[in-house]
Amino acid sequence: MELRDTIGKITIDYSHYPGEDLYCDGAIEDEMLDIAKNYAHVEYQRIIEEKASWPVMYHFSSIRENIVDWLPMDKKTKVLEIGSGCGAITGSLARKAGEVTCVDLSKKRSLINAYRNQDCDNVTIKVGNFSDIEPELDTDYDYCLLIGVFEYGQSYIDSMTPYEDFLKIVRKHCAKEGRVVIAIENRYGLKYWGGCMEDHLGQYFKGLEGYVPSDGVKTFSKNALLRIFDTCQEKDVHFYYPYPDYKFMTTLYSDNRLPLKGELYLNDRNYDRDRIKLFDEKAVFDGIVEDGMFDIYSNSFLVILGPDSNKEYVRYSNDRKDDYKICTELLNIDGDRIIKKRALSESGKAHLQNIREHYDKLKEVFDETSLNICPAKIVDEGMSVIFPYIKGKTLAQLMDERLEVNDNEGFEKLFDEYVERIGLDENSDIADYDLIFSNILVDGKDWTAIDYEWVEDKHVDTKEIAFRALYCYILEDDRRNISDYDRIVKKLGITVDEEQGYREREALFQKDVTGRYKSMGELRELIGGKIMSLEESLSGENERKNKLRIRVYTDHGAGFNENDAYYCEESYDRDGMASVSVEFPANTKKVRIDPCEDYAICYIESLVFNGRPLDFKDNKRLYINGKKLKDAAVDGVTAVFFNEDPNIVIEVSDVVRSTGNRLDMVFKTSLLHEEMTKNLSGNLKRMIRL
Q: Tens digits of per-residue pLDDT, 281-296?
A: 999 999 999 999 999 9
Range of the structural domain that residue 332 is part of: 323-388
Residues forming beta bridges with residue 667, ordered by sequence position = 578, 604
Residues 11, 115, single domain; the answer is yes
Same domain, 329 and 367: yes
What single-letter DSSP state applies at residue 688? B
Confidence class of residue 216 from pLDDT cuts 50, 70 and 90? confident
**CA pair distance 91, 65, nearest whole angstrom:** 8
228 and 330 in a common domain: no
Q: What is the pTM of this model?
A: 0.78
185: enclosing H helix or E strand = strand 174-185
CA-nearest of 340, 346, 408, 413 to 377 is: 340
> Which stretch, 248-257, 454-463, 507-516, has highest mean pLDDT?
248-257
Whole-number pLDDT of residue 689: 37
* pLDDT (tens digit per residue) in 442-460: 999 999 999 999 999 999 9
| Number of CB atoms found within 10 A of residue 576's CB | 18
Q: Using CA atoms, how far apart are residues 530 and 271, in angstroms rounded to an integer?
A: 9
Q: For residues 464 and 477, state if they share a domain.
A: yes
Alpha-carbon gap, residue 192 to 198, rounded angstroms: 7
Q: Are residues 49 and 100 in the same domain?
A: yes
> Quick one: pLDDT at residue 688?
39
Per the domain annotation, does 99 fall within a domain? yes
169-214 pLDDT, tens digit each: 999 999 999 999 999 999 999 999 999 999 999 889 999 999 988 8
505 shares its domain with 613: no
Looking at the fold, whether 399 and 379 belong to one and the same domain comes out as no
Q: What phi and psi values does residue 218 have, to the nearest 5 degrees?
A: -160, 125
Distance, C-alpha 391 to centroid of its chain: 32
Which of 23-32, 139-148, 260-269, 469-478 has the largest mean confidence?
Answer: 139-148
Q: Does 284 map to a domain?
A: no
Tell which of 489, 514, 539 closes a domain: 514
Q: Which of 101, 40, 523 is nearest to 319 (CA)?
A: 523
The string of pLDDT tens digits covering residues 579-629 is 999 888 888 999 999 999 999 999 999 999 998 898 888 888 999 998 888
Contacts of 487 (CB under 8 A, 6+ apart): none
Please determine, for residue 24, whether its predicted confidence score (pLDDT) is greater than 80.
no
User: Taking Cα atoms as reference points, which of 168, 118, 146, 157 lies closest to residue 11?
Assistant: 118
The pLDDT score that the predictor gives to residue 678 is 61
**SS3 category, 73:** coil
- Predicted local distance difference test score (pLDDT) of residue 14: 96
Neighbours of 684 (CB within 10 A): 13
20 and 150 share one domain: yes
Closest to 178 measured CA to CA, from 83, 309, 305: 305
Classify residue 486: in a domain, yes or no.
Answer: yes
Whether 532 shows a pLDDT value over 90: the answer reads no
Can you tell me the mean pLDDT for 385-413?
Answer: 94
Q: What is the mean pLDDT of residues 71-86?
A: 97
Q: What is the DSSP letter of 206?
A: H
Q: What is the rounded CA–CA span in Å between residue 85 and residue 626?
A: 40
> Which residue would you say has higher pLDDT here, 203 or 123?
123
Does position 115 have pLDDT exceeding 90, yes or no? yes
As a whole number, mean pLDDT of residues 102-108 equals 96
Do residue 382 and residue 400 come from a single domain? no
Distances (CA, A) of 369 to 305, 419, 421: 49, 12, 6
What phi and psi, each to the nearest 5 degrees, are found at residue 284?
-70, -45
Tell me how far apart the alpha carbons of residues 198 and 44 are, in angstroms, rounded to a whole number. 28
Instruction: Give yes or no: residues 459 and 555 share one domain.
Output: no
Amino acid at 94: A
Query: Is the model more confident about 74 or about 629?
Result: 74
In the predicted structure, residue 247 carries a pLDDT above the cut 90: yes
Binned at pLDDT 50, 70 and 90, residue 634 comes out as low
Q: Which amino acid is at 470?
A: L
Q: What is the Cα–Cα distance from 322 to 318, expressed in whole angstroms?
A: 8
Domain membership of residue 382 (yes or no) is yes
For residue 75, what are the contacts with CB-CB under 8 A and spacing of at least 6?
Answer: 97, 98
Alpha-carbon Rg for the chain in angstroms: 29
We report the CATH number of the domain holding residue 566 as 2.60.120
> Which amino acid is it at 247?
K
Determine the 3-state secondary structure of 141 from DSSP.
strand
What is the pLDDT averaged over residues 50-63?
Answer: 94
Backbone dihedral angles phi then psi of residue 596, each to the nearest 5 degrees: -165, -170
Q: What is the DSSP letter of 310?
A: S
| The Cα angle at residue 259 between residues 255 and 262, in degrees rounded to 5 | 170
pLDDT at 541 over 70: no
Residue 545: name the closest of 554, 553, 537 by CA: 537
Give pLDDT, residue 274.
87
Coil/strand/helix, residue 126: strand
291 in a domain, yes or no?
no
Same domain, 331 and 239: no
Instruction: Report the alpha-carbon distance of residue 142 to residue 275 in Å, rounded.
Output: 39
pLDDT at position 464 over 90: yes
Q: Which H helix or E strand runs over 515?
A: none
The reported pLDDT for the residue numbered 293 is 98
What pLDDT does residue 686 have?
40
Instruction: Look at residues 348, 371, 388 and tell me which one is the last residue of a structural domain.
Output: 388
* DSSP state at residue 384: E
141 and 174 in contact (C-beta within 8 Å)? yes
Question: Rounded to the nearest 10 degrees, what angle do helices 162-171 and 222-231 cross at?
Answer: 60
pLDDT at 138 over 80: yes
Core vs surface per residue 196-232: b (16+ CB within 10 A) or e? bbbbbeeebebbeeebeeeeebbbbbbeebeebbeeb
Q: Under 8 Å CB-to-CB from 159, ≥6 apart: which residues?
A: 165
State the pLDDT confidence band at 373, using cuts at 50, 70 and 90: very high
Asked if 324 and 342 count as a contact pair (C-beta separation under 8 A), the reply is no
Separation CA 266–CA 183 (nearest Å): 19
- Closest C-alpha among 567, 633, 572 to residue 604: 633
Checking if the pLDDT of 540 tops 90, the result is: no
One domain for residues 404 and 381: no
CA distance 241 to 311: 12
Does 30 map to a domain? yes
- In a domain? residue 528: no
The domain that contains 485 carries what CATH number?
1.10.510
| Phi/psi at 222 (5° precision) | -60, -45
- Residue 19 phi/psi, 5-degree rounding, is 105, -15
**Final residue in a domain of this structure, among 388, 415, 439:** 388
Helix (DSSP H) and strand (DSSP E) numbers for the chain = 24, 34
pLDDT digits (tens, 9 = 90+) for 662-690: 999 999 999 887 766 665 555 444 443 33
Phi first, then psi: give them for residue 624, nearest 5 degrees: -120, 125
Q: CATH code at 103?
A: 3.40.50.150
Contact 179, 307 (CB under 8 A): yes
User: How many domains, in total, are found in the chain?
Assistant: 4
Residue 272 pLDDT greater than 90, yes or no: no
Residue 288 domain-assigned (yes or no): no
- CB contact at 8 A, 217 and 211: yes
Residue 381, CA distances (Å) to 74, 76, 356, 384, 570 in order: 16, 20, 13, 8, 58
